[in-house]
Amino acid sequence: MADTIKIVIAGPRGRMGREAVKLVQNTPHFTLAGAVDHRNDGKTLGELEGFADSNIPVYSDLEKCFQDTLPDVLIDLTTPETGYLHTRTALLNQVRPVVGTTGFNDEQLKELKQLAEEREIGVIIAPNFAIGAVLMMKFSQMAAKYLDDVEIMEMHHDQKLDAPSGTALKTAQMIQQQRASKKQGHPKEQETIQGARGADMDGMKIHSIRLPGLIAHQQVMFGGEGQLLTIRHDSHDRTSFMSGVKICVETIMTLNTLVYGLENILD
Ligand code: NAP
């Protein structure tokens, strides 16, 4: 691993981006080389509202940012469309992407994996950087082996663009590895309002709640004869995600493929 890891952050004004800037600036072996912000080309980070005085250059053009600052890692915390384009551009420029942005589809993930392997460069896409959330997913996968009637309820702030959340999808995929496809509920059940039973994945139901006041929360409920198991995780603050970002940045220096999910790099 290089002594100091040079990092570019895309989306620095966002709620996650601001925490990531603090993380990078407060970590001795990380250096913030630049930031990518589509509204503030040519400024410095210190000129943007809410940032301490700093000469870190801000670019709207990711490639130009890479050419000028020569980073090791891109941390992307933007929007699904932009995040995908940024990840692709980073791989084409031999910069390792750590992607927290959610909402990529299977085709995009497949293409990025292929690109990472062709270029022999690591990329981590982590729908949830919170260690507690990763444990929630792992415990849910364990429970599904014994209790296969499952409903996932994810709850997020009302500015979130994608539904269901990346975490809910990832949880469902992990449960799928343990649980055979199964139709849940009454065989003749009917919705009198469309969507009342939530989204369906192999018979598992996923419910997405969006309300101001929420940050990121999920509970996975398992029903069995005479019993109910609920596994729940709450992120009360976006700082909950930053230890995971740090682990990803450190680990990506040793990878040469795409890793999807923080659980795949934790011991
Ligand atoms: P946010 O507050 O809306 O921030 C997104 C930022 O991206 C905004 O500042 C936005 O700027 C900026 N942006 C949009 N297009 C851009 C572009 N082309 N270039 C540079 N910046 C651009 O959202 P957030 O809550 O920080 O979340 C960001 C992403 O992380 C979302 O996908 C969210 O689902 C995900 N997330 C992941 C985790 C995790 O643990 N992996 C946790 C929480 C959130 P404007 O507003 O000016 O357009």
What is the predicted pLDDT for the residue at 212? Answer: 98
- CA of 80, closest atom in ligand 1: 32
Whether 160 is a known active-site residue: answer yes
Residue of minimum CA distance from atom 40 in ligand 1: 128
* 101 CB within 6 A, ligand 1: yes
Residue with tokens 């082996």: 145
Q: Nearest 10 degrees: CA dihedral of 115, 119, 124, 127?
A: -10
Residue of minimum CA distance from atom 43 in ligand 1: 16
pLDDT, one tens digit per residue, over 160-192 is 999 999 999 999 999 999 999 999 999 999 999
Which residues, in sequence order, are CB contacts of 71 under 8 Å at separation 6+?
6, 7, 8, 33, 34, 65, 95
Please give the average per-residue pLDDT across 105-128, as a whole number. 96
Catalytic residue chosen out of the listed positions 38, 113, 160, 188: 160
3-state secondary structure the chain: CCCCEEEEEECCCCHHHHHHHHHHHHCCCEEEEEEECCCCCCCEHHHCCCCCCCCCEEECCHHHHHHHHCCCEEEECCCHHHHHHHHHHHHHCCCEEEECCCCCCHHHHHHHHHHHHHHCCCEEECCCCCHHHHHHHHHHHHHHCCCCEEEEEEEECCCCCCCCCHHHHHHHHHHHCCCCCCCCCCCCCCCCCCCCCCEEECCEEEEEEECCCCCEEEEEEEEECCEEEEEEEEECCHHHHHHHHHHHHHHHCCCCCEEECHHHCCC
pLDDT, one tens digit per residue, over 189-241 is 999 999 999 999 999 999 999 999 999 999 999 999 999 999 999 999 999 99
* 10 CB within 6 A, ligand 1: yes
| Mean pLDDT rounded to a whole number for the chain | 96
What is the predicted pLDDT for the residue at 157? Answer: 96
What is the predicted pLDDT for the residue at 2? Answer: 53
Q: What is the CA radius of gyration of the chain?
A: 20
* 148 CB within 6 A, ligand 1: no
* 240 CB within 6 A, ligand 1: no
pLDDT, one tens digit per residue, over 184-200 is 999 999 999 999 999 99
What is the predicted pLDDT for the residue at 82? Answer: 98
What is the predicted pLDDT for the residue at 106? Answer: 93
Whether 236 is a known active-site residue: answer no
Kindly state the tokens that stand for 28. Answer: 């001795």
* 251 CB within 6 A, ligand 1: no
Q: Which amino acid is at 91?
A: L
